Amino acid sequence: MGVTTDKLLLTLPGADAAVLEVLIEDAVEYLAGVTHQPRNRVPDSLVRQLVTVMYNRMGSEGLASESYSGVAQTFIDGIPKELQAQIKAIRKVAW
């Protein structure tokens, strides 16, 4: 079926559909590469989760933390562990 921008806009209201399309392509390519699965076999749920992480990270790339007007933020480095576990569960070993 594939991930659509309409589905993502439900969880990321106000997001730009064109940006989401690019992130969907990037997420599918990344997941297909690390899992050694064909692009059409990458689970939609993983694509949606990874796109959400990628979208939320936009603008804070390379930051570990920041503080502004007394408000401090700490950022996750890489992919969250819960998502990493799901990716590893579907990974095929390539010889």
Model confidence at 5: pLDDT above 90: yes
In the chain, % of residues over pLDDT 70: 89
Model confidence at 64: pLDDT above 70: no
Beta strands in 25-68 (DSSP E): 65-68
Q: What is the pTM of this model?
A: 0.81
Q: Count CB atoms within 10 A of the CB of residue 78.
A: 9
How much is the CA Rg of the chain, to the nearest whole Å? Answer: 15
Model confidence at 13: pLDDT above 70: yes
